Amino acid sequence: MDLKSLKLFHEVLGFNHRTEPDRYEYFIDYNLISKTRDARNIQKIISQEVERIASRMQGFVFRVDKKKMHEITGERNVASVSPFDRIVYQGSQVKIVLGRTFKKLLVRYQQFYLGDARTVRRLNHKASIHMYWLIISHSWKGHSFEVTLEELKRLLGCPGAYENRWDNFRKFILDPIQKEFKNTWAKFEYTTKRKGRRINSLTFTFESDAQVIRNIINESPYKFEHQLHLYQMKHNAVIHIRDQVRKGVYTEQDVENVILHAQSEKKIKSKAGFIIKALKDGWYERMAIQTELQIPVTTVVKPTPTPKNGYWGEIQAYWNFSDEQINELRQVYNENTLKKAHYQKSTFFTEETNTEIVFDSFMESVSRYS
């Protein structure tokens, strides 16, 4: 698998399939698997890239032995299982439909593959993902493992690479992996052993034990997150809402109440934007009271400030955009279309909303205002 396919596959593994055994459709933000951005042709380029990823991933077949097939289907036959029925690009997300047999495998054997998706997302070297699973698999046995150099190359997906070129292997494979794992629970150190003049084996040591990793991995998403993804809410915004619920800022029921209200109001165009604003501004508290008293819910639309001289500067200051972000907006908006977009965004977001969420919303709405 290439890096993007590996990341997309890990996003699928990152869902808690046991809590939703009958769910087959999943929506994954494209930004979680690639940071590619071309402001003028972003939708076309991403759509083509997802088609290439889909053609590769749908070509994968898992061979399932008799024992596992009997456990999940009752059949005692060796089977070849295709994991994905469909992979398509919708809006800013990749829609994946799982095959039914593969879904049963995920539900049955979740404890053996469930990983920490947040760590995988920050990895940009293909071999890093292989090292990540090496560390997880050995963490159950202790804090270190030893492996020959040739076996390590095979496990990292580069067998035969840099033959008799240890310095190059270290420079282009091991050092980049170690740098990416820095400041994570998976950080590691390694030492080498020689046989004659050549490096023969390596010993890797890491701090995290099995319990630390288990605690990280077992952070299951809430049920409401599926609906938020259906509304095409950015993943970092969903994670923020999850964290706020865990911290007790608001409850799971508060979030579900806001979602129900967003579903019932057809005039709300951006469900995701409304939910973010409602939770941030405490509307869920008023919604709970008004629901009990059966009082219609009213929302207050924040007035858009009148732009003064230097409209681009006003926009940058209002949303706290960086110079790089404002320059990207200049490539796809003119002043008139930017005014329209700004008016619409200020209806759903506030100046305190995460800048990346607002910026991504601007970029995704280009065609609407052009």
> Where are the domains positioned within the chain?
3-114, 126-212, 223-293, 311-369
Distance CA 159, CA 148 (A): 12
* CATH 1.10.10.10 for domain 126-212: yes
The per-residue pLDDT for 176 is 92
| 13-17, 181-185, 214-218: range with lowest mean pLDDT | 214-218
149 confidence band (pLDDT: 50, 70, 90) = very high
Q: Which two tokens stand for residue 267?
A: 């005039």
Specify the long-range contacts of residues 351-354, CB closer than 8 Å, at least 24 apart: 351/318, 351/319, 351/320, 352/280, 353/276, 353/277, 353/280, 354/236, 354/237, 354/240
Identify the CA nearest to 66 among candidates 76, 56, 57: 76
Average pLDDT, the chain: 76
Q: Which amino acid is at 120?
A: V
Side chain identity at 317, as an amino acid letter?
A: A
Judged against a pLDDT cut of 60, whether residue 307 lies above it is answered with no
Whole-model pTM: value is 0.48
Q: For residues 363 and 370, what is the distance between their CA atoms, to the nearest angstrom?
A: 12
Contact (CB, 8 A) for 166 and 199: yes
**104 compared with 112, residue with greater pLDDT:** 104
Candidate from 18-27, 71-80, 171-180 with smallest mean pLDDT:
71-80
**Span 268-291, mean pLDDT?**
72
358 contact partners, CB below 8 Å, separation of at least 6: 319, 345, 349
Higher pLDDT: 187 or 189? It is: 189
- Which residue from 135, 132, 103 is spatially nearest to 118, judged by alpha carbons? 132
